[in-house]
Structure 1
Amino acid sequence: MKRPRRFGAIRPIRTPRLQRGIPLRAVLPNAVTALALCFGLSGIRFAIGEQWEIAVAMVLIAGVLDGIDGRIARLVRAESRFGAELDSLSDAISFGVSPALILFLWSLEGVPRIGWIVALVYALFCALRLARFNAQIDDTHQPHKSAGFLTGIPAPAGALVAMVPLYLWLSTGQPLFRAPWVVAPWMALVATLMISSLATWSGAALRLRRRIRFEAIAILVVLAAAIVSAPWPSLTVVALLYLATIPFAIRAYRRVRQQRETAPASPSAPEPAAPEA
């Protein structure tokens, strides 16, 4: 015998709880990221006024802030997808759009058609690099990242290296370094390195042993003093030394990959349980 159907009983519909805003502990790292974005945009403003030293300084300050916002987020345990997206947006503007416009207004404006194409390519390649990073952020198979390396040169390092002709011009005053046929190929090279698949050093790959940490601190102090006393030659040396480390990074990653290929296979771990819906 069928039971009578109850029409009066209605099940309550559970609506998903909306997340309002961001946690309080995430305000500080996101504020630092936003401040880096402001400095990067300010570099364009000073470049329009032909204040090249201040324009470069704005991009460099944005690079310093970009280097500490992630560490602050990890320190206060405020890492989030929102912060990652904001950081990528800040990097695209501060280290992609801003250096491209600064170098265009400084040099490439002399050949407006070709110069603008080069500036667009640089900014676009920087954005493509950041988009590739965001697309792979949840990917478990990342050979470079698992070995402690990066894929291509990061956006802040790309901005530092791209402005080498401007550093040389500020330190020597030679018009050769301002020539578009010098600046354009250099920018194209840096843009290509940003989207390349070359292994480059990262912080995880440069973990220092305790016995050389004091020497590393001393080197950083000397470097800071050199940048304060002679900023443009020092920045040129730093940028060129960074480029010189790329072949060593490629060699080190190739050695790590060979060790992984020749290492005996570890016993297969049980498959993780499927996440609950």
Structure 2
Amino acid sequence: MTDPQHTDYPEEPQDFEVIESERDRGGNRHRGVYLLPNLITTAALFAGFYAILAAMNGMFVHAAVAIIVAGILDGMDGGIARLTNTQSRFGAEYDSLSDCVAFGVAPGLVAYAWALSELGNFGRAAAFLYVACAALRLARFNVQAASSDKRFFTGLPSPSGAGLVATMVWLGASRGVDGTEIGIIVALLTAAAGLLMVSSIRYHSFKEFRIGKVPFRVLLGAIVAFAIVFLDPPLVLLSVALAYVASGPLLWALRLRRVRAKRGN
């Protein structure tokens, strides 16, 4: 007979209290999570969830806009956590899980519902390839050692890949285009975005830009950019997404050309 008080199984927590704690100035230990950044992450997760529901009901414009909103919220939670000094291991893990839904599962399902469902196994393969690559991209980012060069990402960031798919669906659905008529194009772009996420191609992170005092012309440029976006949001944002996605391979090709030119000399 074995002692029931001693087993090889880990002890289960007695409540739903998050096992993440810190000490205050008096040395007292407090458990819990930081509210504000995790609420924003939850909002991004809900936006991804809503995008899936909207696509299931044929509301593709709503679905695409929800993914864009999730991208905006994803950019906010990390910045707010740093500004308020509320970074945590729990927040990082929660953010990654939220990203997998909002920028992995949701764009793949939205693209499939809008354009890929009539392609049979090819359409299902393209959608799954995107979802799987997004999950692999996030897993690799979590376990990768921090790069010394913060200016670049290795592989296309998952929010940018999701932005490409979402703006493509947004533009087509807002123009009344039947996605199944251009299913092959959508499948190729969706699969390409997925493969770029797990590639070793570097993308500019723009992390060297900080919010603070800036020259007046920078503020003016931001206002002009907002005005341009409002002229035709889906078209302008799709153009921006395509330019950013293409920038990685183009810069890689230019670097490769320079390296070969130096070796030739």
Q: Which residue matches 1:22?
A: 32
**1:47–1:105 Cα contact (<8 Å) kept:** yes
How well do the aligned residues superpose, as a CA RMSD in angstroms? 2.9
Q: Which residue matches 2:189?
A: 186
* Structure 2: unaligned runs, 5 residues or longer: 1-18, 22-29, 260-265
Pair 1:40-2:51 in alignment:
no
Q: What is the rounded CA distance, in whole Å, between the counterparts of 1:77 and 1:84 in structure 2? A: 13
Q: What is the rounded CA distance, in whole Å, between the counterparts of 2:83 and 2:253 in structure 1? A: 33
Q: Which shows bigger deviation, 188-197 or 109-118?
A: 109-118
TM-score by length of 2: 0.77
Q: 1:150 aligns with which of 148, 153, 156?
A: 153
Deviations 1:12-68, CA, capped at 9 Å, x for gaps = xxxxx9846424xx2100110011000111011111111111111111111000001
Q: 2:201 aligns with which of 187, 195, 198?
A: 198
Closer/same/farther in 2, CA of residues 98 and 76 from structure 1, 3 Å limit: same
Large movers: runs of 4+ above 6 Å: 251-254
Q: Which residue matches 1:135?
A: 143
Q: Which residue matches 2:103?
A: 95
Q: Percent identity?
A: 35
Closer/same/farther in 2, CA of residues 236 and 90 from structure 1, 3 Å limit: same
Displacement of 1:161 in angstroms is 1.3
Give 1:35-184 correspondences, 5 Å limit: 35-136=43-144, 139=145, 142=147, 145-146=148-149, 148-170=151-173, 172-175=175-178, 178-184=181-187
**1:149–1:253 Cα contact (<8 Å) kept:** no
Q: Which residue matches 1:8?
A: none
Closer/same/farther in 2, CA of residues 114 and 177 from structure 1, 3 Å limit: closer
TM-score by length of 1: 0.74
Question: Quick one: which amino acid aligns to residue 223 of structure 1?
Answer: A
Q: What is the rounded CA distance, in whole Å, between the counterparts of 2:240 and 2:200 in structure 1? A: 22
Q: What is the rounded CA distance, in whole Å, between the counterparts of 1:149 and 1:18 in structure 2? A: 31
- Report which of the two structures shows the higher radius of gyration computed on alpha carbons: 1
**1:171–1:233 Cα contact (<8 Å) kept:** no
**2:37–2:78 Cα contact (<8 Å) kept:** yes
The number of residues matched between the two structures is 231
* Structure 1: unaligned runs, 5 residues or longer: 1-16, 258-277
**1:73–1:79 Cα contact (<8 Å) kept:** yes
Q: What is the rounded CA distance, in whole Å, between the counterparts of 1:107 and 1:157 in structure 2? A: 20
